[in-house]
Structure 1
Amino acid sequence: MTESPPPLRRWITPTIPARFARELTDRLPLAADTLRRIHQRAGIDPRLLEADGPRVAPIAYRRLQRLAVGAAGDEFLGHLARPVPPGTTAELLRLMAHMPATGPAIDAAARMIRVFDGAAPWRVALPEGPAGPVRLELTPRTAVQADALLMPHLILLGLIHVIGWLAGEAPPLRRVMLPERFGALAAESTFLFGRAVEHGATPGGLEFAPGSLALPVTARPDSAGAFTRRLVELMTAPTAPAGTEAALRHLLAATRPYAGLSETAAARALGMSRATLARRLASSGMSFRLVRDELRRDLACSLLRRTELSLADIADRLDFSEPSAFQRAFRQWTGQPPARWRRLNR
């Protein structure tokens, strides 16, 4: 009997905007030859990083980050006034694990980072009363820091994951706030944080439920090294979205052909009208077409990188009428034809 193919969901991994990959190295004092070598070892064509449209595979992005840190000897990739030597993050996490609660641990981390930059990267805004929310607000020291797109994501996502590691459970996150300029990356931000992101806050931050920074620390200091090694992957992995968007993603991912439902059929399957579905998605900055295209794009990238399927077979799995239609869509999604993307991301 012929073995049935694995579920397509197995192949889905996120893709990373080119600007995020570009900001990994654009503030590092590395020679051109060194940059060329680490891009080559990461499997990323530097020409991809010249525009914001293309996307890179997550494995290549994570490899580039590790190579950049190693080449520059700076875990903060040139974003602070002084280099942060490799191993500092692990030592910082060990220190935090000795603290009694998450709040003092976060304060200790800010003080230690201040040694390398002359200013703390965030501050805690205490609640006005016992029932008030707790805020962590970014405090960029320079205009360059304030203009960066990558580093605020890394700091805020890092804080969420570190608090979860310290307390042994995910912190009850209520709001994610980013500056207006992040609006162009709303889909990526929603994907990474697992919830709709509010744009307009300057310079951005997180809001947690009351008591979130009073959680007792349960992490063991000797587990800091292993957690540090996982952080890069955690900060580029999807956080499960909630609500209508999550239900739609799961529905489309389970459909054959993949994501092959119309908006009307999807709304009916979710027990609502098409107008209600559109309104709920719009409230979080999404649309049916955007969700569907993101799913198809990321599955296409994964199949191109991890299988030997022909372009015609991939087009068929993604419910395109013909390979040329798939190739046009893929170029719109990534800025490259699929054959070239496959060659550069293997």
Structure 2
Amino acid sequence: MTESPPPRRRWITPTIPARFVRELTDRLPLAADTLRRIHQRAGIDPRLLEADEPRVAPIAYRRLQRLAVGAAGDEFLGHLARPVPPGTTAELLRLLAHMPSTGHAIDGIARMIRVFDGAPPWRIDLPEGPAGPVRLHLTPRNAVQADALLMVHLILLGLIHVIGWLAGEAPPLRRVMLPDRFAALAAESAFLFGRPVEHGAMPGGLEFGPGSFALPVTARPDGAGAFTRRLVELMTQPTAPAGTEAALRHLLAATRPYAGLSETAAARALGLSRATLARRLASSGMSFRLVRDELRRDLACSLLRRTELSLADIAERLGFSEPSAFQRAFRQWTGQPPARWRRLNR
């Protein structure tokens, strides 16, 4: 007797709750005929949005968001005090790509939102030690922002993907904290954030692994436009989890001097033995020394290109005892002395 083959696994494309679709346009000053027209072009029957049960395909949701931004001339869909003109996000990302670290870039995003909203969008709690988490807490300006489901997702998911683009890798996300009113959408939130979420009496926030805001920015300014166009799509897909290598990179980025932990201390901070850490890194063709050297190289290049710091100051940040030791290491990393590399890459 032969065994019957196992049933095929069905892959179901996730859909968007009707409330999110309504919130795309319900704060925009659009006439009824304009709303009807953009719903029709997006392929959405407005009658489906009258109740919470119906759901919309992601492609229609993304199309509606682009049409709504174009019709209203507001990239934040009416959630801020003043409209954010189309193209602002792409221009901001081009500027952020010149920042030396992800922390500077996140501060730049907060400043931009404050220009259009008159209030800071979040509060950041920095860790006391190198192995501590970085916590970001939303600070809604008024009751309308506090009640919006879409706004919370737009900001938190957008931050995760922007940090990943700037640093070239997904940030290690430890916790996602959402208001109690999100509990009914727990499955959708877990899908989008790539992990189970916590609910409570708070406006919402994120907890990142150590060093998430200390990584050097490696994104190129000329890639900002393409990334901005993909951002709407990315925020309707699962957030990629960060593995051991990414967690190690963020941990080393949080130490002072930069990447200054030993392999044993880093393994302990990650809750691993030294052998386990080495084995996991080796499975992706990496080693502790390679990760540490890549971090130092990337930060050195970022500081040389984007700041006026002297070679002695950069050497001190990277933990070299003498500028000459830094110059020898940099030549090994890039094949050029740092002064010449700076002249060619400013």
Same fold (TM over 0.5): yes
Give the Cα–Cα distance (whole angstroms) in 2 for the partners of residues 335 and 341 of structure 1.
9
Quote the residue 2:300 is aligned against.
Answer: 300
| Farther off after superposition, 313-322 or 99-108 | 313-322
Quote the residue 1:182 is aligned against.
Answer: 182
CA drift at 1:129: 2.7
Give the Cα–Cα distance (whole angstroms) in 2 for the partners of residues 327 and 40 of structure 1.
61
Deviations 1:197-234 (A, max 9, x none): 00005111100111110010000011000000000000
CA drift at 1:23: 0.3
Can you give the 5+ residue segments of structure 2 that lack an aligned partner in the other structure?
Answer: none
TM-score (norm 2): 0.67
Give the Cα–Cα distance (whole angstroms) in 1 for the partners of residues 37 and 339 of structure 2.
23
Give the Cα–Cα distance (whole angstroms) in 1 for the partners of residues 61 and 317 of structure 2.
26
Q: Which has the larger radius of gyration?
A: 2
Quote the residue 2:49 is aligned against.
Answer: 49
**Which ranges of 4 or more aligned residues in structure 1 deviate by more than 2 Å?**
1-13, 128-131, 238-346
Give the Cα–Cα distance (whole angstroms) in 2 for the partners of residues 49 and 344 of structure 1.
56
Change (3 A) 1:52 1:107: same
Q: Report matched runs for 1:188-337 at 5 Å.
A: 188-239=188-239
CA drift at 1:239: 3.1
CA drift at 1:131: 2.3
RMSD of aligned residue pairs (Cα, Å): 20.7
CA drift at 1:51: 1.0
User: 3-state DSSP class of the match of 2:236?
Assistant: coil
Q: Percent identity?
A: 92
Quote the residue 1:86 is aligned against.
Answer: 86
Deviations 1:37-81 (A, max 9, x none): 000110101111111111001110000000000000000000000
Contact 2:212 2:253 in 1 (8 A): no
CA drift at 1:139: 1.1
CA drift at 1:10: 9.3
Aligned residues: 346
User: 3-state DSSP class of the match of 1:328?
Assistant: helix
Change (3 A) 1:54 1:217: same
Contact 1:257 1:319 in 2 (8 A): yes
Change (3 A) 1:318 1:76: same
Can you give the 5+ residue segments of structure 1 that lack an aligned partner in the other structure?
Answer: none
Change (3 A) 1:98 1:38: same
CA drift at 1:128: 2.7
| Farther off after superposition, 264-273 or 11-20 | 264-273
Contact 1:57 1:345 in 2 (8 A): no
Change (3 A) 1:48 1:292: farther
Give the Cα–Cα distance (whole angstroms) in 2 for the partners of residues 92 and 258 of structure 1.
27
| Farther off after superposition, 231-240 or 247-256 | 247-256
Contact 2:14 2:57 in 1 (8 A): yes
Contact 1:135 1:205 in 2 (8 A): yes
Give the Cα–Cα distance (whole angstroms) in 2 for the partners of residues 53 and 321 of structure 1.
63
Instruction: Considering Cα pairs closer than 8 Å and 6+ residues apart, tell me whether 1 or 2 has the greater RCO.
Output: 1
Change (3 A) 1:329 1:98: closer
User: 3-state DSSP class of the match of 1:196?
Assistant: coil
Contact 1:44 1:345 in 2 (8 A): no
Contact 1:186 1:285 in 2 (8 A): no
